[in-house]
Amino acid sequence: MVSHRAFEELHIPEVTRPWMESFENPNRIRLTREYLSNLGILDNQNVKSFDCKPAIREDIVRVHSPYLFDVVDELSRLGYGEVGSSSFVVKDTFKAACLSAGGAITAVNEVKKGSVETAFALIRPPGHHAGVGHCEGLCYFNNCAVAVRWLQGKRNMKRILILDLDAHACDGTSQIFYTDPTVLVLSFHEYGMEAIERGWLEEIGSGEGEGYNINVPLPFGTWGNAYRWAFEQIFPDVLRDFKSEMLVVCFGFDTHYSDPVGNMNLQAEDYAQLTRIILQLGKEVCGGKIAFILEGGYSLLALPLSIGAVVSTILDTEIKYFDKISGGEKIPKIVRDVTQEIQNIKKQYL
């Protein structure tokens, strides 16, 4: 488990409206840590704890423009500013963003070193909307991308698969690796929230990276059984065909039915079942080298339950699920159609 107590104190957005910026706050980490502690997970003998160290400039600018790094730094020194849509800066935002990116680096490094087989980075703010030169959607530096480029630059890893399971498309991550065939980005997300949406089927990469960006846009209200069905149709073959050396899972829990930002209908047990599939396939393809990195998830009730489901599954321990609801027995035709289209696209490239 990779985290830091500072995540429970830093980067409290001072916004004048009760909108998305207020949802990404220290209570996400504090309440999750309390719940994991109450479950006995933090005291489990199989859990190793690692404190984050801040990512340095060299780490960040492997991915982002130096200009972006400096702007977030300077506005944090000023104490106030907006660096992108729904990305406000306060006095310690830069420190929190560097610490979050550093947490992702720590997670992949400990997996690569073999000190743990699987890591979970309990970090904030999230990162997957941050692109090469822009911040957006509560994100400042792209934690996952920084970690992947660190692995390639410092640990000589050649092929890495990024699996993004968030309510929203990982548009920043896709942009960063859009022409890169050494990093495959596979994103499962909702669609239809915005008139100018990103994360469509047609966004498959460009140049040498064509075919290495795969989007799975699922309709609003998708239930866990349909989500898992699509996941099982697509993820195993993609991971096997790409032959990734490590699997980096950007796990957002705003797909939970109670989340104030997302529009899906998943629940904690769905995350446990997805995790079982990921662990099984990861062991088969990349020797179990898996790093889970926290992205979204803004319900302060559902986020601890959801992360507890994932971490308990990693540890192979049983917990109770307190958020069970029924519904969504049939697989919608549109989910089947999207899945078939992606399988057709995959055949052309992998």
| Active site members | 129
Residue type, 162: I
Question: Taking a C-beta distance cutoff of 8 angstroms, is the pair 158, 182 a contact?
Answer: yes
Residues 215, 86: Cα–Cα separation, whole Å:
23
Q: How many CB atoms lie within 10 A of CB 85?
A: 12
Question: Taking a C-beta distance cutoff of 8 angstroms, is the pair 333, 274 a contact?
Answer: no
The neighbouring-strand residues paired with 191 are: 219
Residues 159, 233: Cα–Cα separation, whole Å:
22
Residues 231, 237: Cα–Cα separation, whole Å:
10
Question: Taking a C-beta distance cutoff of 8 angstroms, is the pair 42, 1 a contact?
Answer: yes
Geometric angle at alpha carbon 317, from 312 and 322, rounded to 5°: 65
**Hey, is 298 helix, strand or coil?**
coil
Question: Taking a C-beta distance cutoff of 8 angstroms, is the pair 68, 133 a contact?
Answer: yes
Terminal alpha carbon distance of the chain: 33
Pairing of strands 80-84, 87-90: antiparallel
Question: Taking a C-beta distance cutoff of 8 angstroms, is the pair 189, 168 a contact?
Answer: yes
Pairing of strands 160-165, 118-121: unpaired
* Residue 155 tokens, joined: 């640990």
